[in-house]
Structure 1
Amino acid sequence: MKLQEYINLDSDQRLKEFLATLSITNRTPDYYVNWEKVSRETKKFELELNTMNYLIGKEDMYQEALGLFTKQPDLLKVVPSLIASREKILDVLIIDEEDNMAFDQLNFSKIDLDRIKEYVDFMDHSGLLSFLQKEANRSLVDYVYGVEAGLDSNARKNRSGTTMEGIIERSVAKVSRVYNLDFKAQATAAFIKERWNIEVPVDKSERRFDLAVYCPKKHKVWLIETNYYGGGGSKLKAVAGEFTELNQFIRTSADDVDFVWITDGQGWKTAHLPLAEAFGHIPYIFNLEMLKQDYLFSLFQ
C-alpha cells in the first residue's frame, strides 16, 4: 500500500493496516551488547584489577586482603564492579548471629581510611573473598569484562528506543539527500524558530523532538517522534494520549507544521483503544514496514 492510499483510509482502516504490519522486533545485532561501553568501563580499573590479581587463590584470604587494602586503599574502588553493581555508595543491612539488624553505608567512591576492616568484612560476607580464593582462576580484568557485558544487558530496554531513533534518522538522512532537506535530531521549538523561522507550539517547554525535518522550498517542518514497544503496559496508553495532545498543539501553529509518529512493536496489539483514539487525530502514524514502503519519500517530496 502506498502512502496516499493509506492516508485516504478512514482512521479505523488505517489502524487495521498498521496493526497488521507491525514488526516482530527492532533488535539489530548491536542491540545486545554495547562493547565500546563494556571496554571503556573495564579499562577504568584495569591497573587496580591487575594489582588485585595478587589475591587470587590466597590461603589466608581475609588477612591478605586486609593487608593489601590497608597499603593500597584505593583498590577498594573496584569492588562494586566485582559484585556487578553500578552503585558506588552501598546501603547494607547487617544481621548478626542473634538476628539483630542494623543498617550501614559503605562509600566505594571515596574510601574511608578508618573503615578498611569494614570494607573487607563486606567483601567477606558478600562472598567476594571466597570467590577470589576458590573460583577466580584467571585475570580479574577478563572477569570484570564479562560482568560489564552482563550489566550492559540491563540497558537493552533503553536501547530499544535509541535503536528506533537511529533507524529513523538514517531513513530521514537518505530522503534528505534526495530532496535537499535539512534535519536536526533532538530539536527544540527554540532551535526550529531560530534555524528555520517556523513557530512550533509545544505542550512543555523542555520538549525535544526526536527529529525535525525542514523543506526550504515549502517552508515546512515535519516533527517526528519515535518509539518501540515489544510488550504491553500502561506506558502505551500514556504515550498514545500524550502524542494525541501534542498533535493538537502543533496544529495550532500559524506555520506549515506536521506531526509524524513512527512507532512499532507487538505491544500495540494490547493497547487497541488508546491507539484507535490517536489514529482518530493523527494522520501520520507509521511503522517500520511503512518506512520500507518509502512512506517518508512520498511524505517529504
Structure 2
Amino acid sequence: MKYLDIYKEKINCKNDEDVFQFILSNLKETIRKLDFFVDWRKVFNNINDIAPKLILLNNLFGKDNVKDEFKNIILNYPEVIEVMPILLAIREKQIKALDINSIDNKFNYIVYNFKRCQKLSNDEVEKVVEFADKSGIFNLFINNKISNLIDYVIGIEVGLDSNARKNRIGRIMEDIVEKFIKEICLKYNYRYIKQAKANNIKRFLGYDIIVDEADRKFDFAIDNGKKLFLVEANYFSGGGSKLKSVSGEFISLFNFIKSKTPEHEFIWITDGLGWRDSHRPLREAFDKIDYVLNICMLENGILEEILK
C-alpha cells in the first residue's frame, strides 16, 4: 500500500500494519437496510404481468375433473401455458426432465416448452397436461390448501426474489460509496460517473484509459481536475474461495492500470465480515494495491484526503 500521513491524522495508524489491522477491526457486520429483503415492486410487477392467466387457472378450483377442465382452458387460451413454470418456482420457459424407460432402462430427456404460442396441437396439449400431472401442479387445485393462484405465486415470487439478495448487497455497497463520492465531488467541484467504461470516461471526463477487458467497467471514475481515480467497491458478508479470486483480480487490474496508464489511480473499497476469515488474500491485495479502504475509513475522511 501507499502509506500516507493522513492515516495517522485521521485514524491514528502509524504504519502499514496499523492500517491493515484498522481495516480488519472495523469491518461492517451488515449493510442491509429494511428494503433489502424483498423487492416488492419487482414481485408485484411480475404478478401483474401474469395475473390474467392465473385468474383463468383459478377456475380449476372446485372442479371434479381438473385434468379435463385444464385441457379445455389451454385449448381455448394457449397463452396460459406460460405460467406453468412459475407454479413450480421456475423461471425458465423450457424445462428438460429425465425420463427412464422401464423396459430397457434407457435415460432419455423430455423437453417441455412453455413459450408463448397462438395455438396448441393435440399432442402439445397432452404434453402440457402430462407435465402438470406428473409435476404435481394439479394437486394445487384438489387438496384445498390454497384458494387462489395469485396469492400462491406472490409467495413464490417473494421466495425467488430472495435469490437476488446477493446482487442487491452489491448495489447497496455501491450506493453507500456513491454517497461519500457525491458529497466530496459537490464540496470540491469534482466530477464523477458510475459504471464507467473506457469510452464514457473519455467522453464525460476527458481521460484516455486502456482496459484489460473490452467490457470492463469501473464502479466509479472520479476526476479531481488533475487526475483520474478509478474505484471498485464490494461487500462480502461471508468468506470462501471467491474472496481470494476477487483479491487476485483487483491486484491484476491495479498492475495493468499502472503499467499502461501510470498517471491514473486505482482505489479498492471493500468491507464485510467475510474478510476476517479470508484476511490473507486481503493482506496480499493491501500490500500490492496503493489504496485499499473500508467504509469506516470513508467515514473518517480518508477517501476525501486521497482525492485531494
Per the normalisation by structure 1, the TM-score is: 0.91
Residue matched to 1:33: 38
Tell me if 1:72 matches 2:77.
Answer: yes
Deviations 1:117-156 (A, max 9, x none): 1111111111110112223543322221221111111111
Shift of 1:95: 4.2
1:161·1:228 contact (CA, 8 Å) conserved in 2? yes
Paired position in structure 2 for 1:4? 7
Q: Secondary structure at the match of 1:198?
A: coil
Contact kept? 1:77, 1:109, Cα under 8 Å: yes
Aligned counterparts of 1:9 and 1:204: Cα–Cα separation in 2: 37
The aligned residue for residue 275 of structure 1 is: 282
Query: 1:211 maps to what in 2?
Result: 220
Say if 2:108 is the partner of 1:102: yes
Q: Classify 1:98/1:31 alpha carbon distance in 2 versus 1 (closer, same or farther; 3 Å).
A: farther
Mapped partners of 1:99, 1:29: distance in 2: 55
Amino acid at match of 1:284: Y
Residues 1:257 and 2:264 aligned together: yes
Between the aligned partners of 1:254 and 1:59, the Cα distance in structure 2 is 73
Question: Are 1:201 and 2:204 counterparts?
Answer: no
- 1:165 maps to 174
1:17-66 CA-to-partner distances (Å, cap 9, x unmatched) read 11111111121222211111111111111111111110112221111111
Q: Could you tell me which amino acid in structure 2 is paired with residue 248 of structure 1?
A: N
User: Which runs of 5 or more residues in structure 2 are unaligned?
Assistant: none
C-alpha contact 1:185 1:210 (8 A) present in aligned 2: yes
Tell whether 2:241 aligns with 1:238: no
1:272 shift after superposition:
2.2
CA 104–253 in structure 1, closer or farther in 2 if over 3 Å, else same:
closer
- Residue type at the aligned position of 1:29: L
The residue number in structure 2 matching 1:48 is 53
3-state DSSP of counterpart to 2:84: helix
Partner SS, residue 59 of structure 2: helix
How many aligned residue pairs are there?
Answer: 298
RMSD: 2.2
Preserved contact between residue 165 and residue 210 of structure 1 (Cα < 8 Å): yes
Amino acid at match of 1:230: S
In the TM superposition, what is the alpha-carbon distance from 1:214 to its structure 2 partner?
1.0
CA contact (8 A) 2:146 2:152 kept: no
* Shift, 1:250, TM fit: 2.2
Structure 1, unaligned stretches of length 5 or more? none
